[in-house]
């Protein structure tokens, strides 16, 4: 299979909403938007999120900051200056929900990199200060009352197949099951790295302990991360695993049930969110036929003909695994409702093996591939999937959507539409937060955007950590442009062909 080369229409070249609409129509996708940015109290973005309370608080507006890690904590998992600055900027965004802050490992071996935050007794004070710094920054920008208007959660994680706890370049995987494509792609050739059921039981205790630490540190909720190919997401697709954590839907969701039961049995009343990859595809790779020296080829699926029906993912069509199947993910939402989960944050796929479905970009990260089609198609897929969840969401649960950053100038226009038409409860901002945390606060207060700060999806914030550097918006955030790492990053980009 070989991808057609296509010429990308860049968003800044679409000068008006009408141009944007015409372009969307030419792609034959369902991605509506409003005519203008609506400022003031009538804006759909400024409305409270009725029906869901977190830690007894009303959600005051409709945008959330997605978890965004920076590969920049200390090697003992404590915050540094960079981490504190990022959290302050989360506060300056004016978002009413800080969904997770960033991935925090529940155990040192579960880190995705040696500089990931670890939520433990030793780091509890530093993590509590992140929350306090965020609230202070929010107050400084929006006034004293703003301190009460924000709900802050911590994202609890174990990186599973993508653990690199000791060396940025060395995977130390802990996996749910052997995968015919990912094992080859990431060099796994033995069952030794498959976690046993008793390993999992110990891990569940670590999550319960981490939820208590989060409550002690002042979090309003914890996110039990089930996305992006990390461990608990992988377990949702553990169809081929024997024993009590694999096979049936009931077994594959046992970890979530046991973690929540454990949290409640310990007397911890903290609210709970789940970030879910709502669908998945097979892994992708750059098309060798379309690659040139110094330039990655467009993305094509890895060959999957030898593993059909495809039993190695969650929310993926087993007969045609480059399409989604929402049957089980919707069942999972229902289960979350029964377990009292109040926030369901929907994402997709994995940044390690199919980044285009997860974080649509004009420019690929160094371990990715050139877009094989317009990234708006990938944005629209996530938005329309979220709409399906929202239609069926249990009472009291708020749905948060992802992957809006690629919309750039038209992010507020699309966000207003999907909120006004009830396609989602909240819009979540990822990369845009790194370059322009106040984008939606500006939209709501002034109706205009600071064009120079808009994230252009250069993927430097992904390419940097993939090559051992801290993450950040190097091209647009002067704090990072001024760092020596930016020069290193430019060299890396030249050699990796992005």
Ligand X SMILES: Cc1cc2nc3c(=O)[nH]c(=O)nc-3n(C[C@H](O)[C@H](O)[C@H](O)COP(=O)(O)O)c2cc1C
Which parts of this chain interact with ligand X (CB under 6 A)?
66-69, 102-103, 155, 225, 227-228, 275, 347, 359, 402-406, 429-432, 461-462, 471
Q: Any contact of residue 475 with ligand SF4 (CB under 6 A)?
A: yes
What is the spatial distance between Cα 409 and Cα 467, in angstroms, rounded to a whole number? 30
Question: Looking at the DSSP assignment, which residues form a beta bridge with residue 64?
Answer: 97, 428
Decide if 101 contacts 67 (C-beta within 8 A): yes
- Site size toward ligand SF4 (CB under 6 A) is 14
Q: Please provide the distance, in angstroms rounded to a whole number, between the alpha carbons at the two ends of the chain.
A: 22
User: How far, in Å, are 23, 231, 313, 458 from residue 405 at the CA level?
Assistant: 17, 26, 26, 11
The residue ranges of DSSP E strands in 167-241, in sequence order, are: 221-224
Query: Which distant-in-sequence residues (6+ apart) come within 8 Å of 447 by Cβ?
Result: 36, 37, 38, 39, 40
Which of 102, 378, 460, 485 binds ligand SF4 (CB under 6 A)? It is 460
103 binds, among ligand X, ligand SF4, none (CB under 5 to 8 A by kind): ligand X
Q: Does residue 476 bind ligand SF4 (CB under 6 A)? A: yes
Cβ burial of 96 (10 Å; 0-12, 13-18, 19+) is buried
Q: Which is nearer to ligand SF4, 394 or 475 (CB)?
A: 475
CB of 300 to ligand X, least distance (A): 22
The packing angle between helices 375-392 and 17-27, to 10°, is 90
Question: Closest CB to ligand SF4 among 235 and 458?
Answer: 458
Decide if residue 457 touches ligand SF4 (CB under 6 A).
Answer: yes
Q: Calculate the alpha carbon distances from 247 to 55, 257, 309, 314, 492 in Å.
A: 35, 16, 15, 12, 42
Q: Does 409 bind ligand SF4 (CB under 6 A)?
A: no
The entry of ligand X, ligand SF4, none near residue 408 (CB within 5 to 8 angstroms by kind) is: none
In whole angstroms, give the CA distance from residue 160 to residue 172.
9
Partner that binds at residue 230, options ligand SF4, ligand X, none, CB closer than 5 to 8 Å by kind: none
> Which residue lies nearer to ligand SF4 by CB, 188 or 427?
427
Cβ count within 10 A of residue 432:
25
Pairing state between β 299-301 and 284-286:
antiparallel
Which option in ligand SF4, ligand X, none does residue 253 bind, with CB closer than 5 to 8 A by kind?
none
Give the helix ranges, DSSP H, for 102-155. Answer: 124-142
Nearest approach in angstroms of CB 459 to ligand X is 8
Q: How far is residue 409's CA from residue 447's CA, in Å, rounded to a whole number?
A: 12
Is residue 105 within 8 Å of 118, Cβ to Cβ?
yes
Closest to ligand SF4 by CB, 70 vs 149, is 70
Q: What are 215's two structure tokens?
A: 């409550």
49-54 vs 57-59, strand pairing mode: antiparallel
Under rule CB under 6 A, residue 345 binds ligand SF4 = no
Q: Does the footprint of ligand SF4 cover residue 455 (CB under 6 A)?
A: yes
Give whichever of 459 and 496 is closer to ligand SF4, judged by the CB atom: 459
| Least separation in angstroms between CB 131 and ligand SF4 | 23
Interacting positions 118-157 with ligand SF4 (CB under 6 A): none
Is 72 a binder of ligand SF4 (CB under 6 A)? Answer: no
Report, in Å, the least distance between residue 182 CB and ligand SF4.
Answer: 25
What is the nearest approach in angstroms of ligand SF4 to the Cβ of residue 465?
A: 11
442 lies in the binding site for ligand SF4 (CB under 6 A): no
Residue 459, interface with ligand SF4 (CB under 6 A)?
Answer: yes
Stretches 2-10, 252-260, 266-274, 471-479: which one binds ligand SF4 (CB under 6 A)? 471-479
* CB closer to ligand X out of 149 and 368: 368
498 binds ligand SF4 (CB under 6 A): no
Q: CB-wise, 393 or 476, nearer to ligand SF4?
A: 476
**Nearest-approach distance from CB 51 to ligand SF4, in angstroms:** 32
Residue 247 interaction partner, one of ligand SF4, ligand X, none, beta carbon < 5-8 Å per kind: none
- Crossing angle for the helix pair 197-216 and 124-142, to the nearest 10 degrees: 50
Does position 439 interact with ligand SF4 (CB under 6 A)? The reply is: no
DSSP H or E stretch at residue 103: strand 103-105
Residue 456 binds to ligand SF4 (criterion: CB under 6 A): yes
| Under rule CB under 6 A, residue 461 binds ligand SF4 | yes
Selected range binding ligand SF4 among 66-74, 206-214, 307-315, 472-480, rule: CB under 6 A: 472-480
How many angstroms separate the Cα of 80 from the Cα of each of 66, 129, 240, 462? 20, 11, 41, 19
* Contact footprint for ligand SF4 (CB under 6 A): 431, 434-435, 455-461, 473-476
């Amino acid at each position: 299979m070989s991808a057609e080369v296509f010429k990308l229409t860049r968003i800044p070249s679409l000068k008006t909403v009408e141009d944007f609409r015409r372009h969307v129509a030419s792609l034959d996708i369902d991605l509506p938007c409003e005519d203008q940015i609506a400022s003031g109290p009538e804006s759909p973005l400024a409305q409270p999120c009725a029906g869901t309370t977190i830690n007894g608080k009303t959600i005051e507006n409709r945008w959330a900051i997605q978890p965004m890690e920076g590969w920049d904590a200390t090697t003992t998992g404590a915050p540094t200056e960079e981490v504190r600055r990022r959290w302050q900027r989360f506060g300056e965004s004016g978002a009413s929900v800080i969904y997770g802050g960033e991935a925090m490992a529940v155990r040192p071996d579960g880190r995705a990199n040696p500089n990931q935050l670890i939520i433990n007794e030793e780091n509890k004070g530093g993590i509590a200060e992140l929350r306090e710094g965020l609230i202070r920054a929010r107050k400084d920008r929006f006034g004293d009352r703003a301190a009460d208007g924000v709900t802050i959660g911590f994202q609890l994680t174990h990186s599973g197949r993508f653990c690199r706890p000791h060396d940025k370049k060395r995977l130390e995987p802990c996996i749910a099951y052997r995968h015919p494509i990912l094992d080859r792609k990431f060099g796994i050739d033995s069952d030794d790295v498959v976690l046993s059921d008793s390993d999992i039981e110990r891990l569940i205790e670590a999550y319960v302990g981490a939820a208590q630490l989060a409550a002690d540190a002042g979090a309003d909720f914890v996110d039990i991360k089930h996305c992006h190919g990390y461990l608990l997401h992988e377990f949702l697709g553990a169809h081929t695993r024997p024993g009590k954590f694999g096979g049936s839907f009931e077994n594959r969701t046992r970890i979530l049930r046991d973690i929540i039961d454990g949290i409640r049995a310990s007397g911890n009343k903290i609210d709970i969110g789940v970030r879910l990859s709502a669908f998945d595809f097979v892994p992708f790779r750059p098309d060798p036929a379309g690659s040139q020296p110094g330039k990655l080829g467009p993305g094509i699926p890895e060959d999957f003909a030898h593993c059909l029906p495809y039993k190695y993912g969650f929310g993926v069509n087993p007969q045609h695994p480059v399409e989604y199947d929402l049957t089980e993910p919707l069942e999972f939402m229902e289960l979350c409702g029964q377990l009292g989960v109040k926030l369901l944050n929907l994402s997709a796929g994995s940044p390690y093996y199919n980044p285009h479905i997860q974080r649509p970009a004009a420019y690929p990260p160094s371990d990715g591939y050139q877009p094989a089609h317009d990234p708006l198609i990938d944005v629209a897929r996530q938005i329309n999937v979220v709409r399906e969840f929202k239609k069926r969401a249990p009472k009291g649960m708020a749905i948060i959507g992802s992957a809006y950053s690629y919309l750039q100038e038209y992010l507020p226009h699309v966000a207003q539409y999907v909120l006004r038409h009830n396609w989602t409860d909240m819009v979540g901002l990822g990369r845009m937060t790194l370059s322009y945390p106040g984008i939606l606060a500006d939209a709501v207060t002034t109706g205009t955007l600071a064009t120079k700060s808009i994230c252009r999806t250069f993927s430097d914030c992904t390419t940097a950590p993939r090559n051992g550097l801290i993450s950040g918006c190097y091209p647009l955030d002067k704090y990072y442009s001024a760092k020596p790492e930016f020069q290193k990053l430019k060299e890396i980009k030249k050699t990796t062909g992005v």
